[in-house]
Structure 1
């Protein structure tokens, strides 16, 4: 019920939707970001955590065959 809460929710929603738009499994992507964000002490390191980064290919959704 606060503007800070709304901003936090919007940030989380944006990360999840951007991960989906880049064909990443959202929970795996968030786990990856949380695991590596403490080491991201430069802008370049932060940019490597963005969903469209090629290093995140391991987090791509696997298509299931029926």
Structure 2
């Protein structure tokens, strides 16, 4: 309904999923997105696919600035 193409709808769904999963893991969504969008392009996932788990919202390896301090 709000997307012009199927690819646009799929891209929106991916972004919404990332945002909601970050919220569910009590992350600062903006800082989490800044982290993954600025760091992931420089990572060689083909050589070391296991490193992807370090970027998941539940990863203990995320920087502190990704975590909400309002608890």
The two structures have a TM-score, normalised by structure 2, of 0.80
Residue 49 (structure 2) aligned to one of 26, 32, 43: 43
Determine helix, strand or coil for the equivalent of 1:24: coil
Equivalent-residue separation in structure 2 for 1:33 and 1:45 (angstroms): 12
Q: Give the superposed CA RMSD.
A: 1.5
Equivalent-residue separation in structure 2 for 1:40 and 1:22 (angstroms): 25
Equivalent-residue separation in structure 1 for 2:33 and 2:10 (angstroms): 17
- Is 1:19–1:51's contact at 8 Å kept on the other side of the alignment? yes
Question: Structure 1 residue 35: deviation in Å?
Answer: 1.5
The two structures have a TM-score, normalised by structure 1, of 0.86
Deviates more, 1:22-31 or 1:33-42: 33-42
Q: Which runs of 4+ in 1 moved over 4 A?
A: none
